[in-house]
Structure 1
Amino acid sequence: MARKQQDDYQCTECGATSTRWVGRCPQCQTWGSVVERSGPPSRVAVDIAAPHSAALPIGEVSTQAADRTLTGMEELDRVLGGGLVPGAVVLLAGEPGVGKSTLLLEVAARWARGGRRTLYITGEESASQVRLRATRTNALADSLYLAAENDLGTILGHIEQVRPSLMVLDSVQTVGAAQTEGIIGGTTQIREVTTALVRTAKQRDMAVVIVGHVTKDGGIAGPRTLEHLVDVVLAFEGDRHSGFRMVRATKNRFGPADEVGCFEMAEAGIVEVPDPSGLFITRYEEPLPGTCVTVTMEGRRPLLSEIQALVAPVPNETPARRVTNGIDFSRVAMVLAVLQRKAHLPLSRNDVYVSTVGGARITDPSADLAVALAVASAAVERNFPRRVLAMGEVGLAGDLRRVPGLERRVAEADRLGFELALVPANSRDRTASRPKLRNLEVVEVSSVAQALGVLDLRRAERGQAQTAGMRAVQV
C-alpha cells in the first residue's frame, strides 16, 4: 500500500489540512467537514497577460458605475446604505418561516415597477405557488419575470435571455452545478454556485440577492467562504409568534455594517415600520409597579423597550426561581446579585420573573439599570412617580458604566414624551452639542443604590419591612 503523503486531508469549511482523517476540524471545529484530497495540490505556471485596461490612480476612477438604486423599501435601503449597488451580491439569511421569500418578492415587485427588469428564481417552490403569494401580497409587476429552476446552467441561461438588473435566488441551497461533484446543498456545490453568480453579477453590473438557510445554531448554512464571496450579508430576525421582523447588516462593503431595518408581517404581506419604538412599550393609564423602560441601540437606531418584573414570595421550602424572557439570563442573575449585596434588597427567598414586551430581544448591556429598577419596583410594590426610563451598564461593585450613543437615546425618549431619564454619571459629552429637550429631565447617578434613592424605592422598602415586623434594611 502506498504511503499517504503529508496533508492528504482538507477541511471544506476553512481549508485547513491534516495528515489523517478526523471527524472534527481542529481549526474551525466543524464536524464532518474533513475530506480526502483527490490528489496533491497542482502547481500550474501562469502566463503573464496584457491587462484589458490600465490601472489608474484611485482619485481618477469614475464612481458613476457604482451609483446606488433605491429598492423602493426605505427600511431595506437604510440597511444597504442607501440602495443597491450595480453588481453587488447580497446574502439574506434567516430561520424557516421568518418571511425571507415574502420580503424579497415585495422588493422584486417594487424594483420592477420602476421599469427595470427583474428575475425571480425559485428553487423551493413552483412558479404557480409563488404566483399565488404574489397575488395575495399584491407583488405583481409587468417587468417581474419568474422561473422555477434548480440547475445553475439553466439559471445562467435565464439571465442571458431576460437581462435583468436585479436577480433574486431563493435559495442557494437548492441549486446545483452539473459539472461539480457533491450533493445539492453541500459545501462544494454552494461554493461553486455562489462563485458563478458573483462572477456573472460583476460582468453584467446586475444586482443579485441570494437567500441562505441557517443552521440550528443560528449561523449561515454552507461553507464560511460563502460570506466572504458576497458583498453584503443580511440577517433576517424575528419570532414567528410575533409579527415584528428586523433586517440586520452583519457585513456591508458599501455602507455601515451596524444598521437595522424594521418590518412587520401582516395578512397582506410585509410592511415597513419606520417608528418601531411603540411596539415594545405599553401605554398604561395608571403607572404599575415592576415596569421600567430603557433605550437600546440597534445599529445606529435607538429603540425603546419595556422591561417587566414580578417578584413573588417562595412558598414553604421551595428553591427560589429565576425566569427570563427576551433578555439574557446571566445578566439578569448578575443584576439580582448586585441588588441584594450592594443595594440591600432581599431577594433570596423570592421568585423573580423578568420579561420584555412585544417579543423584543435585548442584548444591549445598557438595559441593566432598567432591569434593576423594574425588579426593585416589583419587590417593594411601588411605582415610579413619573414616566421614567433608565440606561446604564451595571458593574459588580454596583456602579454604573457609560453607554454609547447617549444623546441619541435621550433625544428619542424626549420625543416620545418621557419625563425623567436616569443615566450613568459623567456619561454626557460636555463639549458636543446636545439636543434641545422639551420635557425630559436627565439625572446622572453613579450607582444602582443612588438610582433607587432618586426614585424613592429604598424608603418604600424600609417602610414595608417595618410593617411586616422585619429588621429594617440599612441604606
Structure 2
Amino acid sequence: MAKIKTRYICQQCGYETLKWMGKCPECDSWNSFVEEIEDKKTKHDLFVIDKEVQKPVSINSLEVKEQERFSSCIKELDRVLGGGIVKGSLVLVGGDPGIGKSTLLIQVSNNVAKSGKRVLYISGEESVYQIKMRAKRLSIESENLYIFAENNLNIIEKYIDDIKPDMIVVDSIQTVFSPEITSTPGSVSQIKEGTSRFMKISKKVGISTFIVGHVTKEGSLAGPKILEHMVDTVLYFEGERYNTYRMVRAVKNRFGSTNELGVFEMRNLGLVEIENPSKILISEKPKGVSGSVIVVTVEGTRPMLVEIQALVSPTNFGIPKRTATGVDYNRVSLLMAVLEKRVGMQIQNQDIYINVVGGIKLNEPAMDLGIITSIASSFRNIEVDENTVVIGEVGLTGEIRGVSFIEKRIWECKKMGFNKIVVPKNNLKGLDEIENIKIYGVENIRDALDIVLGG
C-alpha cells in the first residue's frame, strides 16, 4: 500500500510546508496551517482562454473588439461593472454577513431572466425553499430563473451542461467542494479548485458567473489572495448592517474603471438603487450645530457630497479617547497632531469622535480639510455655514495641497445648491469662474479656518 503523503497549507495565504508551523512565514498569521492529504492523481485539464488566437501574434495585427455586455437592469450595478455584465466574465462579490449580497444577486438574476436569458442560481448555504421564501418577499418570479441547492462541483457541472445558462450565481465559493480533493470545504485547496473550475466554465462556454465570497473579521476576502487574482472583477459590498444604505465598490475590474461606487438603500422589497446619493446623504444635516461639515469625495467617476461630524469634549480620564468611523483612524490622529502643532489648538486633553454620516467609508486625502474643520468647529463651538463646502489635502506642515477632479467637485456642489467652496489655492489655476458660487483658495489650515470659522 502506497504511503499517504500530507502537507500543511496556510488558510490565509496558501503557503505550503511539509511540517506544521505556528506562524506562517508568508503572511505572519498564527495557527493558520491545516493538514491536507497530497493527491498527485488529480488531473487539471488545460483550457484555452482565447479560441481565436492560440499562438503568439504581433500586437499591431490585432484589432480591438468591444466586449459583449448585457444589462443587469440596475443602473448602479451596471456603472460599477463598467457598463453592464460582460459575457464570459467571472465576478467575485464579497461583503459582511447579512449585508445584502444574496438579495442583490437574486434581484440581478431575476432581471436577467426576465430579459430572456437563462440564469442558474446555485446555493450551498440555503435550501431551495429558503431561497423561494426570499424570492416571494422580493416579488421575484421568472420561468428562466433556475434554483439549485448543491455544493458538489461535479454535480453542479453536470446540471450546467444540461441547462446551458447564460449566467450563473454561486452562493458561496466557500461552500462548494470537489470530491477529488480530500480537504474540507472552505480550505485553500477547495477554494482554488472551485474558482478555477468556474473560471474554465466561464471562459470556455461564455457564461457570466458571479461567485459570493465570505470576508474575514478584518474586512478582507477570506481564503487565499490568489482568489482575487483569478477573477475578472472584484466587488465589495459595504455598509453598516443597521444602516439602510449599502455601497457596492469595484476594487478590480478588467472591463472598466476601478473604485467605481454604486449606492443602494435596503428596503422591505429589497435593494433599491439611489441615483443621486449626494441628495440623500446630506438631507438630514443638522442646522445651528457645531462640528458638522460638508465635503466632496470622488469615487471612480462620481462626485458625492458627504457630511463629516466631529464631537470634541473634555476627557474625564487621564488618557483621552479617540474614535473614527468611516475614515482611517491613523489619518485622523495625524490631522489632530497637525492642528495642535500648526494652529496651537489645545486638544490633547479632549475626547474626539469622528463619524462619516450614512455608513460611507472614505479613504480619499481630499477629506483632510473637512476632518480638521469639523474638529475645530466642535472644539470652538462655532457653527459652519450650511452653504459651505471644504475640499483639500492637508500636509504635515499645515499646507493645503491640491486635489484631482476639482471642476467635477465644484459642479456637484453647484447642482446641490452650495454657494461657498473652500479649495486649495493651487486648484484655482486654470479654473473658470462659476456663476453664483464664491470660491476661496487657501494655502494653509489657518487661512481655511479663518474663512470657515471666522478666526
User: TM-score scaled to structure 2, two decimals?
Assistant: 0.88
Match of 1:446 among 439, 443, 447: 443
Change (3 A) 1:17 1:105: closer
- Aligned pairs for 1:43-122 within 5 A: 55=55, 58=59, 66-122=67-123
Task: Tell me the amino acid that sits aligned with residue 363 of structure 1.
Answer: N
Change (3 A) 1:157 1:435: farther
Does the Cα contact within 8 Å between 2:291 and 2:384 map onto a contact in 1?
no
Task: Tell me the amino acid that sits aligned with residue 415 of structure 1.
Answer: K
Does the Cα contact within 8 Å between 2:37 and 2:182 map onto a contact in 1?
no
Aligned to 2:4: none
Task: Tell me the amino acid that sits aligned with residue 416 of structure 2.
Answer: L
Task: Tell me the amino acid that sits aligned with residue 243 of structure 1.
Answer: T
Percentage identity across aligned positions? 38
Aligned to 1:26: 25
Aligned to 1:407: 407
- Specify which structure has the bigger relative contact order, considering alpha-carbon pairs within 8 angstroms and separated by 6 or more residues: 2
Shift of 1:25: 2.6
Aligned to 1:301: 302
Q: In structure 2, how many angstroms separate the alpha carbons of the residues matched to 1:38 and 1:113? A: 45
Deviations 1:19-51 (A, max 9, x none): 754233312334434758849999xxx9xxxx9
SS of alignment partner, residue 73 of structure 2: coil
Q: In structure 2, how many angstroms separate the alpha carbons of the residues matched to 1:348 and 1:52? A: 66
Task: Tell me the amino acid that sits aligned with residue 212 of structure 1.
Answer: G
Does the Cα contact within 8 Å between 2:14 and 2:224 map onto a contact in 1?
no
Aligned to 1:203: 204
Change (3 A) 1:53 1:237: closer
Shift of 1:126: 0.5
Q: In structure 1, how many angstroms separate the alpha carbons of the residues matched to 2:320 and 2:194? A: 54
Shift of 1:284: 5.4
Aligned to 2:3: none
Does the Cα contact within 8 Å between 2:285 and 2:307 map onto a contact in 1?
no
Task: Tell me the amino acid that sits aligned with residue 352 of structure 2.
Answer: V
Change (3 A) 1:107 1:40: closer
Shift of 1:318: 5.4
Shift of 1:435: 7.1
Q: In structure 2, how many angstroms separate the alpha carbons of the residues matched to 1:161 and 1:40? A: 30
Which segment is superposed worse, 305-314 or 138-147?
305-314
Deviations 1:73-131 (A, max 9, x none): 11111111111222111111111101110000000000001011111111110101111
Task: Tell me the amino acid that sits aligned with residue 185 of structure 1.
Answer: G
SS of alignment partner, residue 130 of structure 1: helix
Does the Cα contact within 8 Å between 1:407 and 1:428 map onto a contact in 2?
no
Task: Tell me the amino acid that sits aligned with residue 196 of structure 1.
Answer: R
Shift of 1:212: 0.9
- Aligned pairs for 1:17-416 within 5 A: 21-31=20-30, 32-33=32-33, 38=38, 55=55, 58=59, 66-283=67-284, 286-314=287-315, 319-385=319-385, 387-416=387-416
Deviations 1:358-414 (A, max 9, x none): 223222222121122222222222223451111112222111112222221111111
Task: Tell me the amino acid that sits aligned with residue 113 of structure 2.
Answer: A
Task: Tell me the amino acid that sits aligned with residue 25 of structure 1.
Answer: C
SS of alignment partner, residue 368 of structure 1: helix
Change (3 A) 1:65 1:180: farther
Deviations 1:162-206 (A, max 9, x none): 111001111111111112221112111111121111111111111
Aligned to 1:467: none
User: TM-score scaled to structure 1, two decimals?
Assistant: 0.85
Does the Cα contact within 8 Å between 1:21 and 1:36 map onto a contact in 2?
no
Q: In structure 2, how many angstroms separate the alpha carbons of the residues matched to 1:36 and 1:268? A: 44
Shift of 1:283: 4.6
Change (3 A) 1:277 1:124: same
Change (3 A) 1:362 1:38: closer
Does the Cα contact within 8 Å between 1:302 and 1:412 map onto a contact in 2?
yes
Change (3 A) 1:71 1:58: farther
Change (3 A) 1:66 1:285: closer
Q: In structure 1, how many angstroms separate the alpha carbons of the residues matched to 2:203 and 2:40? A: 32
Change (3 A) 1:261 1:382: same
What root-mean-square deviation, in Å, do the aligned CA atoms of Structure 1 and Structure 2 show?
Answer: 3.0
SS of alignment partner, residue 309 of structure 2: strand
Q: In structure 2, how many angstroms separate the alpha carbons of the residues matched to 1:215 and 1:69? A: 32
Task: Tell me the amino acid that sits aligned with residue 249 of structure 2.
Answer: R
Change (3 A) 1:313 1:229: closer
SS of alignment partner, residue 228 of structure 1: helix
Change (3 A) 1:184 1:322: closer
SS of alignment partner, residue 69 of structure 2: coil
Shift of 1:293: 0.8
Number of residue equivalences: 442
Task: Tell me the amino acid that sits aligned with residue 211 of structure 2.
Answer: I
Shift of 1:275: 1.2
Shift of 1:280: 2.6
Deviations 1:295-346 (A, max 9, x none): 122223222111122333456x755443433333332232223223322333
Which segment is superposed worse, 228-237 or 279-288?
279-288
SS of alignment partner, residue 134 of structure 1: helix
Does the Cα contact within 8 Å between 1:214 and 1:221 map onto a contact in 2?
yes
Q: In structure 2, how many angstroms separate the alpha carbons of the residues matched to 1:376 and 1:383? A: 10
Q: In structure 2, how many angstroms separate the alpha carbons of the residues matched to 1:341 and 1:34? A: 50
Change (3 A) 1:233 1:370: same
SS of alignment partner, residue 369 of structure 1: helix
Which segment is superposed worse, 176-185 or 22-31?
22-31
Deviations 1:255-284 (A, max 9, x none): 122212111111110111111113332455
Which segment is superposed worse, 263-272 or 273-282?
273-282
Change (3 A) 1:328 1:59: same
Which segment is superposed worse, 408-417 or 361-370?
361-370
Task: Tell me the amino acid that sits aligned with residue 220 of structure 2.
Answer: G
Q: In structure 1, how many angstroms separate the alpha carbons of the residues matched to 2:323 and 2:220? A: 26
Task: Tell me the amino acid that sits aligned with residue 151 of structure 1.
Answer: N
Change (3 A) 1:40 1:174: closer
Q: Rg larger in 1 or in 2?
A: 1
SS of alignment partner, residue 145 of structure 1: strand
